[in-house]
Amino acid sequence: MNSSQNSLLNKCKDCKDFLDRLLISIPLFIKFIICSTIILYIINILIPISFIISDIPYYTIYYFQIWRLVTTSFMTTNILSIIFSLYFWLSEAVKLEKEIGTIKYMLIFLMNTICIQIIYCLIMFLLSLIIRNDYFLKIKITTSGIRNEGLWPILLCDLTLLCLSNPLEPMRFFFFPCVIKAKYYPFVLFLIFTVLSGFHIDFEIFCGIGFGFLYHYYLKNKLNISNNFAMKIENSILFRWMKNKKGFINMGGVGIPVLQNNLANVRNVNIGGNEDDNKRSLNAFKGKGIAVGSDEENNNNTNKVSIVSNEDTNSSESKLDIDSSKENP
């Protein structure tokens, strides 16, 4: 075997090792979404199943095909859309699932998907009533097939929540030499996508942005999924088998401090107790306190008591050491 063949084998081995590490680093539900999206895209090339899976409001409303509200997020009919949506969505999604657990992330993903699609169906239904035509109810049906965006509504919803967590923060718009406030970023992005698509308004993506604003300002406390509820679902018979699968993130093993610092304002997830307890733990003690010496000092009868007053915290003279072995005059 010559050197070129050895080099090729080493490259293949390195590539295989990289893919193995990549698969191990991706949590279970994110892995399920990626695999489902790619598999359904391939099947749709052979058999047009997008007509059954995509959320077409006409069939969702009039034929009560409610499974479309969920399955539509896994069906993308454009390979470039799959590549770019996974590129922008994957890193934050992986981070979030690792921090809040597989089951809780799954519940949040499904809840957001269903809410976005319900809003989309209602808007399309109202527009159809206004124009007295079912055009908007069947807007996804084109001459070339079904046009479905898959993960993009969820991606824009997550981006909106992230931007609203710090709405006045200046954000750079990709490689353009301009900076805009975070709260306007999703709308500017939607406008750019509309222009690039030939001024085709994608109402489904717009509903993803709208639900992000609606959740942040009005529904955060009403739709919050508690840790106790997620734990019950995780321990139920239906999902208990998932715990033995590779990539499953247990609710008990999440990174609590990281989650509270980075995602509390975005997802309204409370893992380290309620909000009042967290606030109380951060309040400084006001008044006078007594710090008693260690047990070793007690045994040597050299106890010392430190009386600290917060009235003059900037002065080092506010700390008085009193020898407890001496009698007070």
- Interval 243-254: pLDDT, tens: 888 889 988 655
pLDDT-derived band of residue 22, with 50, 70 and 90 as boundaries?
low
Q: Mean pLDDT score of the chain, rounded to an integer?
A: 78
Going 258 to 260 to 265 to 271, the CA torsion angle's sign is positive
Instruction: Name the percent of the chain lying above pLDDT 90.
Output: 47
What's the pLDDT at 198? 79
Rounded distance between C-alpha atoms, residue 306 and residue 85, angstroms: 60
What's the pLDDT at 305? 40
Confidence check: pLDDT of 313 > 50 = no
Kindly give, in sequence order, each residue whose CB lies less than 8 Å from that of residue 110, ignoring residues fewer than 6 positions away.
70
- Looking at per-residue confidence, does 258 or 63 come out higher? 63
Rounded distance between C-alpha atoms, residue 22 and residue 7, angstroms: 22
pLDDT-derived band of residue 94, with 50, 70 and 90 as boundaries?
very high
Query: Domains (ranges, CATH) in the chain?
Result: 25-279 (1.20.1540.10), 288-323 (no CATH)
Q: Is 2 helix (H, G, I), strand (E, B) or coil?
A: coil
Confidence check: pLDDT of 28 > 90 = yes
What's the pLDDT at 5? 62
pLDDT-derived band of residue 16, with 50, 70 and 90 as boundaries?
low
Q: Is 122 helix (H, G, I), strand (E, B) or coil?
A: helix
Alpha carbon distance, N-terminus to C-terminus of the chain: 96
- Interval 42-81: pLDDT, tens: 999 999 999 999 999 999 999 999 999 999 999 999 999 9
- Interval 266-298: pLDDT, tens: 444 443 444 444 444 444 545 554 444 444 444
Going 112 to 89 to 257 to 183, the CA torsion angle's sign is negative
